[in-house]
Amino acid sequence: MPLDPVALTADLVRCPSVTPEEGGALVLLERILTEAGFDCRRVDRNGVPNLFARWGRKGANRTFGFNGHTDVVPVGDAAAWTRDPFGGEIADGWLWGRGATDMKSGVAAFVAAAVDFVQETPPDGAVILTITGDEEGDSVDGTTALLDWMATEGEAMTVCLVGEPTCPERLGEMMKIGRRGSMTAFFTARGVQGHSAYPQRAKNPVSAMARLIDRLSSHELDKGTEHFDPSTLAVTTIDTGNPATNVIPALCRATVNIRFNDRHSGASLIRWLEQEAAEVAAETGVEIGLSAKISGESFLTPPGELSELVARAVEAETGLRPEPSTSGGTSDARFVRAHCPVVEFGLVGKTMHQVDERVEVAQIEPLKAIYKRILKDYFT
Q: Is residue 136 part of an annotated ligand binding site?
A: yes
Residues 201 and 273 sit within 8 Å (Cβ to Cβ) = no
- Please state, in angstroms and rounded to a whole number, the distance separating the CA atoms of residues 8 and 32: 10
Sites for Zn ion among residues 100-119 (CB under 5 A): 102-103
Measured between alpha carbons, how far is residue 135 from residues 58, 68, 176, 192, 344 in Å? 26, 8, 17, 44, 15
CA-based nearest residue to 185, from 278, 271, 283, 285 = 271
**Which residue sits closest to Zn ion, CB atoms considered?**
102
- Please state, in angstroms and rounded to a whole number, the distance separating the CA atoms of residues 258 and 235: 9
Q: End-to-end CA distance of the chain, in Å?
A: 23
- Please state, in angstroms and rounded to a whole number, the distance separating the CA atoms of residues 281 and 273: 12
Residues 283 and 184 sit within 8 Å (Cβ to Cβ) = no
Give the SS3 label for residue 199: helix
Q: Is 71 in the site for Zn ion (CB under 5 A)?
A: no
Q: Is residue 69 part of an annotated ligand binding site?
A: yes
- Please state, in angstroms and rounded to a whole number, the distance separating the CA atoms of residues 151 and 336: 12
Nearer to Zn ion, 14 or 98 (CB): 98
Residues classed as catalytic: 71, 135
Considering the complex, what minimum distance in angstroms separates the CB of residue 101 from Zn ion? Answer: 9
Nearer to Zn ion, 179 or 203 (CB): 179
Q: Is 344 in the site for Zn ion (CB under 5 A)?
A: no
Considering the complex, what minimum distance in angstroms separates the CB of residue 18 from Zn ion? Answer: 13
Strands 251-260 and 178-179: unpaired
Residues 4 and 112 sit within 8 Å (Cβ to Cβ) = yes
Nearer to Zn ion, 21 or 39 (CB): 21
Sites for Zn ion among residues 172-201 (CB under 5 A): none
Stretch that binds Zn ion, among 48-56, 94-102, 257-265, 313-321 (CB under 5 A): 94-102
Considering the complex, what minimum distance in angstroms separates the CB of residue 258 from Zn ion? Answer: 23
Considering the complex, what minimum distance in angstroms separates the CB of residue 131 from Zn ion? Answer: 12
Sites for Zn ion among residues 148-167 (CB under 5 A): 164
- Please state, in angstroms and rounded to a whole number, the distance separating the CA atoms of residues 181 and 50: 25
Give the SS3 label for residue 127: strand
Considering the complex, what minimum distance in angstroms separates the CB of residue 73 from Zn ion? Answer: 9
Interface size with Zn ion, residues (CB under 5 A):
3
CA max distance for the chain: 83
Look up residue 90 and give its amino acid. I
Stretch that binds Zn ion, among 70-78, 97-105, 213-221, 340-348 (CB under 5 A): 97-105
Q: Is residue 353 part of an annotated ligand binding site?
A: yes
Q: Is residue 344 part of an annotated ligand binding site?
A: no
Q: Which residues are annotated binding-site positions?
A: 69, 102, 136, 164, 353
Q: Name the residues that contact Zn ion, by CB under 5 A.
A: 102-103, 164
Q: Which residues are annotated binding-site positions for Zn(2+)?
A: 69, 102, 136, 164, 353
